[in-house]
Structure 1
Amino acid sequence: MELCFQPGRILLPGEEIRVEQWACLACDQYTSQPDYWQEAAALAAGGPSALDIVLPEVYLDKVDTAARIETIHKNMVRCRETVLTRQVEGYLYLERTLPGGGVRQGLLGLVDLEQYDWRPGAACAVRPTEGTVPSRIAPRLAVRQGACLESPHVMMLADDDGCTLVEPVAAEKARLRPLYSGPLAMNGGSVAGWAVEDEALIARIGAAVQALGSQAVFDAKYPLAAGAPPLTLASGDGNHSLATAKAYWEQLKPTLNAGQRGCHPARFCLAEVCNLHSPAIQFEPIHRVVFGVQGLTLLAEFKAWCAAHGAAADDPDGEQCLTLVYGAWRRQVRVKNAPAALAVGTVEAFLADYLMLHPAAAVDYIHGEEAVAELSGGGNTGILLPDFEKRDLFRGVVLGGVLPRKTFSMGHAQDKRYYLECRAIV
């Protein structure tokens, strides 16, 4: 069977283009803070930038979205011809120094979309960690259709407690070809990358991927699921972007013959793989802001909803804890006999019902308590969620399927992947 994570042709801007000038943050961040993206655009003005070839999701579903997408597609053609003048045939090893000082090691390569499925119950080698919302795929698919390039913010995780995949490549860093190094704009820390083109090292990576996805290793790690189809990689960030790449491939596949289906570039999605057990991988809860409702009103609605579902909100013995924020007002709420296993699941179930009854309200998913505080008040209420333990991630996916949507984030917003490398998908 083919590897679910493979080497490929990775494109990079010319050496004369600085990392700080070219790279920009993942488009699914700061979706309720357009000021961030306006500042990013001002910094990118006057020179080639990855911001020219991506659509920040703060601009999705706006009046001018179609015009923006058309411009992006034209920019991709221009960048492919004049900016992306270097390439790597293999993998790319990178080190991201985060604003907090940690160094996150990653391996960039191709995820085989034939071995990935986001639909509930699908037991593929590559799986999502949280629920995928089909309605969120359509507007992103409009960007990918007609695009000649992709630049990834997808980050995959490997449950590699033996450090067999990424760390051995890091140990060979001194003999790898340096590709880029420099600071990242907008408080993103810094990043450096090296080409992994040696055939022996590529083969070693392949063997590690194959071993991590073997039945024997899977059964030893997850004895309660022994005999089930093994899980090799799970999405950590960019879940809906990966689902969009899959949707595009499924659209294209019927137009191709059998030979083309085996090697067409759209069959794959460029993604970074990290080791779940790395100390630099830190999970942060993703909070909620409910627009159009005051704190006390939302609290009353939540209490009533819990009671209707056999739960008790505001119980001092409650096993689940969350905090409502409205300006300077904060209220911790404990839920006993909660209807979901995790607090995030309880909140998601409540919000789904609440939004059906209050269509004028809206919800956004926010990284960081400070950002929640800034958006709360003035008719909007924040919901702070508790921490999520990363050691439970793969076990939860294997035994219980996907987690509730937007359960966790790998670090703060500025820690997310920056667009830097590219790949042709036509």
Structure 2
Amino acid sequence: MTDTIKTLSRLGVHIPEILLPGPEAALNKWAVVACDQYTSEREYWKEVEAIAAGTPSTLNIVFPEVYLEDGDGEKRISGINSTMKSYLDQGVLSALDKCFILVDRKTSHAPSRKGLMLALDLECYDYNKGSDALIRATEGTVLDRLPPRIKIRQNAPIELPHIMVLIDDPHKTVIEPLAEKCTQLEKLYDFELMMNGGHIKGYKVSEEADLASVASALDRLAQQDIFRSKYNIDASRALLLFAVGDGNHSLASAKGHWENLKKSLTPGQLENHPARYALVELVNVHDDGLVFEPIHRVLFNVEPQELINEFQAFYQKADRCCSGNTAHTFSYVTDKGEGTVSIANPASNLEVGTLQVFLDSYMKEHPQVKIDYIHGEEVVRKLGSQQGNMGIFLPSMNKTDLFKTVILDGALPRKTFSMGEAEEKRFYLECRRIE
């Protein structure tokens, strides 16, 4: 077992002590979707509140982003931390022996998506542009989104993740062998998720042979010759083993909290402090149940025709055009109907890059314009067709290109892709102590 732990540690992996609700808990009320979903749909979260009322729920220990601008952030954060402590004190959460958890998630769009709950070493993670860390962001990190999230974490006794981290394992050697023997593993949970979230099962992975199998398979993915051959790259490229697919800002907040905390720790505490690690769900990018969906944009308080004119003018300037790239065409919806706009000389290879660079500039010049990032086309049409709004649709990207793109080009423009629709996102379920 010592060799397995050493191998995992070298790869930035930690075997965590996971907390789960006791057998008397109503798990269908306990588990709620990631806090950064349905950020323009208060009615969704009101319905969640009604479902979870009067019973322990992760709704009471997260901060749904739909409420971020309500002006009661301090009160909410205080309540979150207080409720976390009460859930621990009252025995709502119980600790498992050190283990991984094999997750099997059925959604409205996929019959099965496999994952593995484990902890990653934040010392091996860097979200900054140009990072060559073992664990990297796939999309740009918005730094001003981190302080409120770090503030929640700094006094929190536990963490509960909606983070999904990807591995590029085309031969399916890490997670899939565990899934094939799931009937031999202890089942920890098996229930229907609320609000069309699908069904989820979890199995305890604690036998030494199974942990060793995961360590060995990850170690093979991390071998330099295999890494270079897979992507046809030279030795100058640093190894990328884990790519953050969902929840990058949450993982970045965990990193920020750890960087703040470790300034006051002794060398011994640095080595073993629980806040050094973050609980995540590991998913193979080649899993058949993992689908990359585009993330569309909805603008509020905007004059659509003015935006279209400025969009086209923006890329007519010599310092922003690149005649070698194929024209990018975007569909949009407003209260006057649907249409398209084409950019003849885009500077980016990806449509999302072309659009986001312009929107960042446009919104600086038009501070009254607000933006939301939406996963489903139906919601974009609903919101975009309202007066004063505009919805812009984006195409999806090929998920098998993700790792090589990040290795060669660095992090993609933020909100480039979504791993599934909103209801397919990770639901808060497992927890872990961080103090």
With structure 1 as the length reference, what TM-score do the two structures score?
Answer: 0.96
Matched pairs, number: 424
Q: 2:304 aligns with which of 282, 295, 303?
A: 295
1:36 partnered with 2:44: yes
Tell me if the contact between 1:53 and 1:76 (Cα under 8 Å) persists in the aligned partners: yes
Matches of 2:336 and 2:234 in 1, distance apart? 47
The equivalent residue for 2:351 is 343
Q: 1:267 aligns with which of 260, 276, 281?
A: 276
The equivalent residue for 2:71 is 63
Tell me if the contact between 1:97 and 1:189 (Cα under 8 Å) persists in the aligned partners: yes
The equivalent residue for 1:258 is 267
The equivalent residue for 1:421 is 430
Tell me if the contact between 2:302 and 2:389 (Cα under 8 Å) persists in the aligned partners: yes
- Seq. identity, %: 44
Moved over 4 A (4+): 309-313
Q: Which amino acid aligns with 2:299?
A: V
Alignment of 1:277-292 (within 5 A): 277-292=286-301
Q: 1:319 to 1:251 in 2, by over 3 A?
A: same
The equivalent residue for 2:3 is none
Q: 1:75 to 1:268 in 2, by over 3 A?
A: same
Instruction: Give the C-alpha shift of residue 309 in structure 1.
Output: 4.9
1:26 partnered with 2:40: no
The equivalent residue for 2:123 is 114
Q: 1:144 aligns with which of 129, 138, 153?
A: 153
Tell me if the contact between 1:90 and 1:196 (Cα under 8 Å) persists in the aligned partners: yes
Q: Which amino acid aligns with 2:210?
A: L
Q: Which amino acid aligns with 1:268?
A: Y
**Alignment gaps of 5+ in structure 2:** 1-8
Matches of 1:417 and 1:278 in 2, distance apart? 15
**Alignment gaps of 5+ in structure 1:** none
Matches of 1:85 and 1:312 in 2, distance apart? 57
Matches of 1:200 and 1:265 in 2, distance apart? 25
Deviations 1:295-341 (A, max 9, x none): 2222112112122256789x9x9532211210351112222220111
Tell me if the contact between 2:321 and 2:347 (Cα under 8 Å) persists in the aligned partners: no
Instruction: Give the C-alpha shift of residue 201 in structure 1.
Output: 0.7
Tell me if the contact between 1:129 and 1:403 (Cα under 8 Å) persists in the aligned partners: yes
Q: 2:181 aligns with which of 172, 182, 207?
A: 172
Q: 2:404 aligns with which of 395, 399, 402?
A: 395
1:230 partnered with 2:239: yes
Tell me if the contact between 2:312 and 2:343 (Cα under 8 Å) persists in the aligned partners: no
The equivalent residue for 2:23 is 15
Q: Which amino acid aligns with 1:178?
A: K
Tell me if the contact between 2:77 and 2:152 (Cα under 8 Å) persists in the aligned partners: yes
Matches of 1:249 and 1:353 in 2, distance apart? 33
The equivalent residue for 2:98 is 89
Tell me if the contact between 1:110 and 1:270 (Cα under 8 Å) persists in the aligned partners: yes
Q: 1:124 to 1:383 in 2, by over 3 A?
A: same
Instruction: Give the C-alpha shift of residue 227 in structure 1.
Output: 3.8
The equivalent residue for 1:334 is 342
Q: Which amino acid aligns with 1:353?
A: S
Instruction: Give the C-alpha shift of residue 164 in structure 1.
Output: 0.9
1:188 partnered with 2:197: yes
The equivalent residue for 1:243 is 252
Matches of 1:204 and 1:352 in 2, distance apart? 45
Instruction: Give the C-alpha shift of residue 210 in structure 1.
Output: 1.8
Matches of 1:186 and 1:237 in 2, distance apart? 20
Tell me if the contact between 2:134 and 2:242 (Cα under 8 Å) persists in the aligned partners: yes
1:205 partnered with 2:210: no
The equivalent residue for 1:412 is 421
Matches of 1:181 and 1:237 in 2, distance apart? 23
Matches of 2:329 and 2:310 in 1, distance apart? 17
Deviations 1:218-263 (A, max 9, x none): 1111222434221101011001001000000000011111111111
The SS at the match of 2:120 is strand
The equivalent residue for 2:317 is 308
Matches of 2:22 and 2:432 in 1, distance apart? 15
Tell me if the contact between 2:315 and 2:345 (Cα under 8 Å) persists in the aligned partners: no
The SS at the match of 1:68 is helix
Deviates more, 1:83-92 or 1:121-130: 83-92
Matches of 2:320 and 2:178 in 1, distance apart? 50
The SS at the match of 1:109 is strand
Deviates more, 1:183-192 or 1:373-382: 373-382
The SS at the match of 1:66 is helix
Deviations 1:79-115 (A, max 9, x none): 1222002424110001000112421000000011000
Matches of 1:88 and 1:328 in 2, distance apart? 59
1:100 partnered with 2:82: no
Matches of 1:204 and 1:270 in 2, distance apart? 20
Instruction: Give the C-alpha shift of residue 22 in structure 1.
Output: 0.7
Instruction: Give the C-alpha shift of residue 151 in structure 1.
Output: 0.5
Instruction: Give the C-alpha shift of residue 409 in structure 1.
Output: 0.1
Tell me if the contact between 1:303 and 1:312 (Cα under 8 Å) persists in the aligned partners: no
